[in-house]
Structure 1
Amino acid sequence: MRRTESCWRRLSRRREFGGRFVSRTAMGLRQCFTGHGRTSMLILYSLPFSNYSAKVAIALNVKGIDHEKRPPPGGYSSPEYMSIVPSGTVPGMDDDGVILSESDVINEYLEEKWPNPPLLHGDAELRGKQRYLSRFHDFMVEPNLRALFPHLVPAQRGSAFVNDKLDSFNHQVGRLENFIDPKPYLLTEEFGFADCAYPATFLLADLMFDVFGRKPEFGAKISRWREHVDVHPAVAPVLEISEATTREWLDGVTGGS
């Protein structure tokens, strides 16, 4: 009786994720009377050419978490999708009513809920460095490529802005070269949290630099890291889909030129 009363008290509460209140009734009843919390498979709202979606897809693969990938209903930032994931961005996650967005937030959640196999290794310092490298991707490396999306159209190429962003990407990748110590992964002997961030973005860089008639400048350590990571069983299938869909997207934007 005490267990049932405790469950009903929990059912009277609601929890908020990403600005959206989610009813606990269905999940709570299952927890109370069956002892099992999951009522559905984890859903990853994603786009196959999204490098941030790839970051989460890789983490899910490393951990062996059953999941279903879906495109955002109604499209990116649509009212329909925002009624599920309030930010309207991808990736978005629905884990049995737990709604989250932002790739690092989702991966931190996965790490806490499914700690094995771990993505964060070592002591507090090493774990902090792994988180830092993932943020470095999001704030210093990837934005240089994203800023060039409008300039993929042939008429917009060759501007000083384009070359500035390509130079900035190479500069930040050069800084990254000084931060890492591949063992063979960025900081550890095991595949780690930050290793999820870079594979799809470096693939995107290869393809985008080629559009602009240049090549990304990856140092020896990053090149060695890519040789190991790109063939990892959790990464290779994600990159295969990412490359095919990104090439298709680029052909559509550039007219194949």
Structure 2
Amino acid sequence: MTLKVPILDQCALSGNEEQRILVERLSSYLKRNHNLIFPHQHNFYHFVIFTNGRGKHTIDFEEYDVQPWQVYFMIPGQIHTWDFEGEVDGYIVNFSVDTFQTFLLQSDYLSNFPFFLGLKNKSVFVICNESRDAVVRLMDELIAKHFKMDFVKVSLLYLFMLFEKQMEPNEKIEASSYNYTLLKNFRSLVEKRYKDLHLPKEYASLLHVTPNHLNALSREYLGLSAGEFIRSRILLEAKRLLATRRHTIGEIAYELKFSDNSYFTKFFKKMEGITPEEFRRK
């Protein structure tokens, strides 16, 4: 019997219902939440900077080897768990989904940053040597002093920009460009319609571009073809449903708008290498 993966609330981890942003040393956070070793989801944004320690960190069924100066960005809904070895330290930041929506004119401003896309090849990286001292100073200052919330928000935005600067040129798009708007709308559409729209040409039609143009843009900036991006989102949801709900394979196939169980099983095995039943047991 599959156990439901719990969704944790920000106030449950901070111990303060009014605290919309948590900035804390990782060591003290782990000490306070020492039982937090089971797979779980968050309903808030979450990122962790490791400065010391080893172990494993799994995000949406992808396992990473923890190393010093690694940073992990996680968006609401992702499933993660960790298994550390020895003493671990660094910094952890949790903030609610509306933290920046009500602070900036552009309510979806976080989507400008590649590491808030929920893509594994952009949300985990090592902080470059040139930025480490600045990151430590900023994080220590935010923890040590009781700044007003607006200052904390501005400081976090500065940190995000610092991280973005070290990304490769082909991982960034000028926020005012046509391609940026198109890609942003494509990602947003996939997130809203992946259950009932499975083909790139369907999204291209809604975006008023050719499938070839959408495919080229997706390859250049996301590292995946448009079809691969859509299928990876469907696969991820299938994995989450298999891990978090007691639905039958047929019910999951129906929810993801597959014509029948066998088509869903064939899709899953082609993408993952094992059947849905084998993945659930695993």
Quick one: higher RCO (CA 8 Å, sep 6+), 1 or 2? Answer: 1
Give the TM-score, by structure 1 length.
0.31
Structure with a larger share of its residues in strand:
2
